[in-house]
Amino acid sequence: MSGETYDELYESMFNLDPNVRFVAILNLQGKLVHKGHRRDIQNYLNSLDQMTSVQHALESWHLRSQYVEQIGLTKYAMAIYEKIRRYTVPIGQTHLLYITTEPDISHEAFIQNVLNLVEKHKKD
């Protein structure tokens, strides 16, 4: 996937649903390709804490990858907190999409749309 395609995917996430709060795209070594939050929201975490949260999600992703042979590839991971939902979605074999949303988002429709967009952008 090219840098331009990552740009498009990043923008698409914010256009997907008004409940999207924060989006980051990073490689599996933790290097950020993109990150940003919706302008009209209150951040619950400062920049340092936000990036620490992204790193924890990356570490959890690496732990899950230890069991690929036994249970298969992870399609996505979700954590539900009182104030947000956090999604981690693979973009191919080399990058992750990290998204936070409002807690009352319609989960099934949202994650299906995210997976469809990721698949579409992988083909572009």
Q: What CATH superfamily classification does 3-123 receive?
A: Dynein light chain 2a, cytoplasmic (3.30.450.30)
- CA–CA dist 114, 91 (Å, integer): 11
Main-chain phi, psi angles of 116, to 5 degrees: -65, -45
- pLDDT > 60? residue 124: no
Describe the crossing of helices 107-123 and 3-16 by its angle, rounded to 10 degrees: 160
Q: Can you list the alpha helix ranges (DSSP code H) found in 1-124?
A: 3-16, 47-64, 68-71, 107-123
Lookup result for tokens 């590839």: 73
The per-residue pLDDT for range 30-84, each reduced to its tens digit, is 999 999 999 889 899 998 999 899 999 999 999 999 999 999 999 999 999 999 9
Query: What residue segments make up the domains of the chain, in order of their start?
Result: 3-123
